[in-house]
Each structure stands twice: as C-alpha cells, then as structure tokens.
Amino acid sequence: MKYLLFVYSFLNLLISLTGCGSDRNANVEDAGCLAETLIEDQVMGTAVHMVLYSDELNKSQLDKAAAEALEEIKRVERLMSSWVEDSDVSRINAAKKGEWVEIDRSTIDVLANAMLIGAITNKAFDITVSPLVDLWGFGAKSKGPFSIPSDEEISEAMRTVGHGKVLLDIGNSAVSLAEEGMTIDLGGIAKGYAVDRALSVLYKNGVDQAMVEVGGEVGVIGKNKDREKWCIGVRHPLKRGNFLTVLELENEFVGTSGDYENFFVVDGVRYSHIIDPRTGRPTTSNITSVTVVGTSCAKVDALATGFSVLQYEDSIKILESLPDIEGIIVRRAGDGELDIYVSEGLRRKIRLLEPATTK
C-alpha cells in the first residue's frame, strides 16, 4: 500500500503531500494533469518548503509564482532579521533612545501585530525580550556558548523590557524605542508573517493549491495533490518520530512552538529559547509543545510562542476565548506523562494518538 508519496519532515510538523492515510493510488493517477512545482531553500536561518499544484496554470507559470513567493520571503528576511546588518530591525536596534526610525510598511505591520498579540497574551509575547534572548545565548548578539547569566545581568536586561516602551507612528511608518540599550527581536512572529506574504503572492498569481512552510510555520491554499485537505502531522514532543495527531487543513495556517528543539540543560534543568518577559528567564511553564491553527500565520506563530510562556491553564483560557483560533497545548506532567489539551473546536476534527486531558 502506498501510504505517503512525499513526506516533508520539519521541526514540529510533518506534512504529507497526498492523502492522510488510505490508499491514494487512484487519486494520484487522476491528478496526473496537474502541473507541480516543489521548492526547498534556506531563508531566515531556517528551512523553507513550497509545494504548488495547478490544473489552470502551466509549469512555467507555476515556477514563476513560486520564485516570486520565495523572493517575498527573502524580502521579509532582509527587513526583519536581526542577523542582517541593515535590516529594519537592525537599524531600529542601533538607533539612539527616542530616535525615530523610518521602516517599511511590512515591518510596521508586524510590529503592530506583535503589540496586539502581546495584549492578547497578557504580555507573555513580547518582542522587547531581545536583550534577554541574547543574554541567554539564543540571539544574534549572543557571546559564546550557553551559560546561565547572573541575577544582575538579568535585572539590567529587564530594564528595557515592555511593549509600552515601543512607540509606533503608523501613519509615518516609523518606530522609536524609549530606553537606552533597548532592542527588539521578531524571531517569534516574522517567519509566520513571511508565510502570510508568500501565500498572498501565490494567490495574486492565480495559484489555488499550495503549501508554504518557513521554519515550522505553515500555510495552505486549497487542496493537496489528491484534491483533499492538506495533512499536517504534529510531532510527539517526547517520542521522536511519533505523532500526536494529524491536522487536515484547507486555507488555514498552523504555528508551532516547543521547548524540545532549541534549549540547553545545566544540572538537569532545561533552559528553553522562549523567555518569560515577567522573569527575564526561560519559561518554566512546562509547556512542551503548542500548535495553533487560524487564518493569519503571523498571528498563530506569535500566539504559539506566547502560549509557551504562560501557565497551561492561562494559555487554555486565552485559546478558548479567541473565536477564530484553535489549538493543542501540551504540558510535561512529570514521570514522562503529558497533559494534552485540544481546543473545543478542534476536538471533533482530529483523532489524538494519545488520550487527551480535558482539564
């Protein structure tokens, strides 16, 4: 039995390009007239994958659409990466206290969205954690190997944290940071935004079947090769190679966050790359995996990061309060056990490969 024709394996997700489980040979043959373009690249310090199908556009039109979408992802990187010297983010971070920096409309759009997600998550998502991300060894300005900073270093870095210190002039597309030494980091939202932009370029080019993934943030247009919903497998955070569930998506986005890909361990304590802005330290929520589904990739990307910071119960409360958002939140419960929460709207749509805890 031919189960999966192509399988792409990413950080927290696995994407099947054909049906979700049954024998699809007949459908694959039916789909023989589809033009197909696959792209794999490295952008924003991470893997980019794109898959496009069309029975309206020919192969060269599809290739052109894919190339334009990839160029758009690279444009987002040039604007928003802390690793690119003259990006908008690097210019903002290099500016003096109170100085206004003119930035691209896309960057101000992401900043405004980041502020919104900060408000929704009770300040758990906060782009001004940047000096702390550097201090704990996960940022563009980090010096050397991972180590635990002193309390003094943490409180000094905490001085500049808070969205209230980011001033936006939306009309003039300008931003100003209110404290000396303050910096911002869009690592928790820019990949999702790049997916949003890439999909909008594909739409504009008439593509109606596509999947775009940037570093674990995914967006799908229409149906897959078999003209069925796209199948996105959510990785099991503890059992390598296993999956918690498979999401079936159409015209939706998935954002993920987890503490099991980017972390270091000292004396048996795990220090994750996600920083709690309230303590200046890696999150201690014990949330190990967050998957958020919605209609904007920037939003689901940032929400997934924010939910990783909050206490399990608080993340669940916010998740259920957002009408257009569904998700799965997984917490380490000790002794290798997991608490798995699936939002109400998602419960009837998916089958968990482990029993869920509904609390």
Interacting residues with ligand AMP (CB under 6 A): 124-127, 129, 133, 138, 185, 187-188, 257, 273-275, 277, 301, 304-305, 309
**What b/e string do you get for 90-118 counting C-beta neighbours within 10 Å, with b at 16 or more?**
bbbbebeeeeebebbebbbbbbebbbebb
Nearer to ligand AMP, 73 or 275 (CB): 275
CB atoms within 10 A of CB 22: 11
Rounded to a whole number of angstroms, the minimum distance from the CB of residue 188 to Mg ion is 4
Find the shortest distance in angstroms from Cβ 48 to ligand AMP.
Answer: 15
Our CB check for Mg ion shows the closer of 54 and 308 to be 308
- As a whole number of angstroms, the distance between CA 257 and CA 275 comes to 12
Q: How far is the CB of 129 from Mg ion (least distance, A)?
A: 13
Structural contact between residues 132 and 275, judged by C-beta atoms closer than 8 angstroms: yes
Instruction: Please report how close the Cβ of residue 154 comes to ligand AMP at its closest, in angstroms.
Output: 14
Residue with smallest beta-carbon separation from Mg ion: 305
Q: How many CB atoms neighbour CB 313 within 10 A?
A: 11
301 lines the binding site for Mg ion (CB under 5 A): yes
Q: DSSP per residue over 243-282, as a string? A: EEEEEEESSEEEEEEESSSSEEEETTEEEES-EETTTTEE
Q: Minimum Å distance from CB 318 to ligand AMP?
A: 14
Q: Which stretch binds Mg ion (CB under 5 A): 133-141, 157-165, 187-195, 334-342?
A: 187-195
SS3 178: coil
The correct pick among 16, 272, 291, 305 for binding Mg ion (CB under 5 A) is 305
We find the least distance from the C-beta atom of residue 83 to ligand AMP, in angstroms, to be 11
Binding window for Mg ion (CB under 5 A); candidates: 60-68, 111-119, 256-264, 270-278: 256-264
Torsion sign, CA atoms 97, 190, 294, 287:
negative
Query: DSSP 3-state assignment of 200?
Result: helix
Q: Which is nearer to ligand AMP, 203 or 260 (CB)?
A: 260
Q: How many residues does the chain have?
A: 359
Structure tokens at 186: 């869009």
274 binds, among ligand AMP, Mg ion, none (CB under 5 to 8 A by kind): ligand AMP
Residue 218 structure tokens:
């995914």
Q: Which CB, 72 or 301, lies closer to ligand AMP?
A: 301
Identity of the residue, 120 or 207, whose beta carbon is nearer to ligand AMP in the bound complex: 120
Q: β-strand 217-221 against 269-272: which pairing, if any?
A: unpaired
**Stretch near Mg ion under the rule CB under 5 A, chosen from 80-88, 137-145, 266-274, 303-311:** 303-311
Identify what 121 binds: ligand AMP, Mg ion, none; CB under 5 to 8 Å per kind. none
Distance CA 212, CA 199 (A): 7
Separation of alpha carbons 110 and 56, rounded Å: 33
Sign of the CA dihedral running 340, 342, 347, 350: negative
Supply the minimum distance, in Å, between the C-beta of residue 171 and ligand AMP. 26
Question: Residue 291: which of ligand AMP, Mg ion, none does it interact with, CB under 5 to 8 A by kind?
Answer: none
CB of 302 to ligand AMP, least distance (A): 7
Is the CB of 114 or the CB of 207 nearer to Mg ion?
Answer: 114
What are the tokens at 34? 């589809």
List contacts with Mg ion (CB under 5 A).
188, 257, 301, 304-305
